[in-house]
Homo-oligomer: A and B are copies of this chain.
Amino acid sequence: MAKKTETSKRLSRDELNDRDRRTLRHLLALADDVVKAAETGRDPAIDIPSRTLSNVRYNKSKRFIEMGAAKNRRQLFNLNQAKSYMQTILVASGAEKLISQGKTTSLRGMYYLLKHTIEGAREETFSDQEESDSVIEDLEVAIEVLREELHLYAKNAGAMVGQITLIDSGDTIDCTRMGSGGYSIPSIVEPEVVQFKKCDAEFVLHVEKDTVWRRFNEDKFWRKHNCILTHGGGQPPRGVRRLLYRLHNELKLPVYCLLDNDPWGYYIYSVIKQGSINLAYESKRMAIPDARYLGLRSKDFVECELSDSVKISLNDTDRKRARQIMEYPWFAHKKPWQKEIKQLLDNGFKLEVEALISKDISYVTEEYTPQRLREGDWLD
């Protein structure tokens, strides 16, 4: 078999898009700092914003979670920090390589790309993928770019269908004609990759799970109600959140969330709305403070006259999580949310969206959701 070859060509500056040029500028600035430090006799160092709970806060006026100003300095000439300093520079050079060649890879791919035994030593650059993943997150916050802008993607999860036509990597995607599987939402949905071409939808309905999404798709809900239908396979990955954000902000579409009546459903809504603690530095590009919670609600067991068979008892973890979520600053001062979560605890059981099928296969698409939308019956 052939020896190691560098078959991949670097793109010229003109072949790069604006965003890639911007990311490259940030990466090169990092390298320039090393040179500058050397020239002025200072120790090379990188300042990494601290990704701890204590450095995260809820911004009341912006209505989302954001990072504070705390930073950790990572120095080359410090025995405790030298390795992580070099790992950070290594990840930056890997990202530079990907962008310059116009290629993308997975977190695992990046790990393999950078993993090697350091010459003249027995030290490995990274001992496992966890280590490189963490350094990638450091780099994201240090130079304020999304992982996707470093040309790193996660697994596709989530699908979209409905009254919108978009361009993805040059291909025109008419989301009214995507068969039973829908448009698979990629993890990179930045405007350079995905452009909105035409949109007749009036709102976005985001559901938690693939299985519920299929019910809505099969019943052509999006056609009858002139909307876009998305799901995120549970907790929506970044690509789905970023796409919802863009649909909401660029196309001015309201976003309604149909999630399970349990702490996990509340949490998914909370992340879509206010961002997450882990990804606080990305809230400004992902959080949708005006997203609405359509259901399921704690009142639904009685209102929809459901049978006892569909109840799922709350366990201790559920109760604990529910109480924590009640105290989130964006729920704490909202009476309807306090009432909602209190009633969940009083009920003592949770409900999945699928439970509505016990009334009728299409009850959720033909009665529940249309009625809630018509009556403006949601939480926000």
A188: B residues at CB distance < 8 A:
180
How many identical chains are in the complex? 2
Q: Residue A180 contacts which of B155, B169, B177, B215 (CB distance < 8 angstroms)?
A: B169
The docked-state distance in angstroms from the alpha carbon of A305 to that of B1 is 8
Instruction: Judge whether A214 and B104 touch: CB under 8 Å.
Output: yes
In the complex, per-residue mask of A159-201: 1 if CB is within 8 Å of any chain B CB, else 0: 1000000001101110001111111111010000110000000
Instruction: Judge whether B155 and A5 touch: CB under 8 Å.
Output: no
Instruction: Judge whether A215 and B124 touch: CB under 8 Å.
Output: no
Instruction: Judge whether A115 and B310 touch: CB under 8 Å.
Output: yes
Closest to A108 in B: B354
The docked-state distance in angstroms from the alpha carbon of A300 to that of B117 is 20
The docked-state distance in angstroms from the alpha carbon of A232 to that of B210 is 17
Cβ of A69 < 8 Å from any Cβ of B? no
Given contacts A181-B168, A181-B184, contact A3 B305 (CB under 8 A): yes
The docked-state distance in angstroms from the alpha carbon of A319 to that of B287 is 47
Given contacts A159-B156, A168-B179, contact A2 B357 (CB under 8 A): no
Cβ of A90 < 8 Å from any Cβ of B? no
Cβ of A113 < 8 Å from any Cβ of B? yes
Instruction: Judge whether A109 and B305 touch: CB under 8 Å.
Output: no
A211: B residues at CB distance < 8 A:
105-106, 108-109, 155
Cβ of A316 < 8 Å from any Cβ of B? no
- The total of chain A residues at the interface (CB under 8 A) is 75
Most chain B CB neighbours (cut-off 10 Å) among A1, A109, A168, A304: A1
Instruction: Judge whether A181 and B179 touch: CB under 8 Å.
Output: no
A180: B residues at CB distance < 8 A:
168-169, 186, 188, 193
Instruction: Judge whether A105 and B357 touch: CB under 8 Å.
Output: yes
A300: B residues at CB distance < 8 A:
1
A105: B residues at CB distance < 8 A:
211, 215, 357, 361
Which residues of A, 1-43, contact B by the 8 Å Cβ criterion? 1-8
Which residues of A, 242-258, contact B by the 8 Å Cβ criterion? none
Instruction: Judge whether B169 and A360 touch: CB under 8 Å.
Output: no
A361: B residues at CB distance < 8 A:
8, 97-98, 101, 103, 105, 109, 113
A6: B residues at CB distance < 8 A:
360
Cβ of A333 < 8 Å from any Cβ of B? no
Given contacts A106-B211, A178-B173, A183-B179, contact A307 B357 (CB under 8 A): no
Q: Residue A109 contacts which of B4, B7, B186, B354 (CB distance < 8 angstroms)?
A: B354
Cβ of A153 < 8 Å from any Cβ of B? yes
A354: B residues at CB distance < 8 A:
106, 108-109, 112
Please name 19 further chain A to chain B contacts, defined as beta carbons within 8 Å, in addition to the given A5-B360, A182-B184, sorted by A numbering: A1-B367, A5-B363, A5-B367, A7-B363, A8-B362, A97-B361, A101-B361, A104-B218, A105-B215, A105-B357, A106-B211, A109-B357, A113-B357, A113-B361, A116-B358, A117-B309, A155-B211, A159-B184, A173-B178
Binding site for B on A (CB under 8 A): 1-8, 97-98, 101, 103-106, 108-109, 112-113, 115-117, 124-125, 153, 155-156, 159, 168-169, 171-173, 177-186, 188, 193-194, 210-211, 214-215, 218-219, 233, 300, 303-305, 307-310, 352, 354-355, 357-363, 366-368, 371
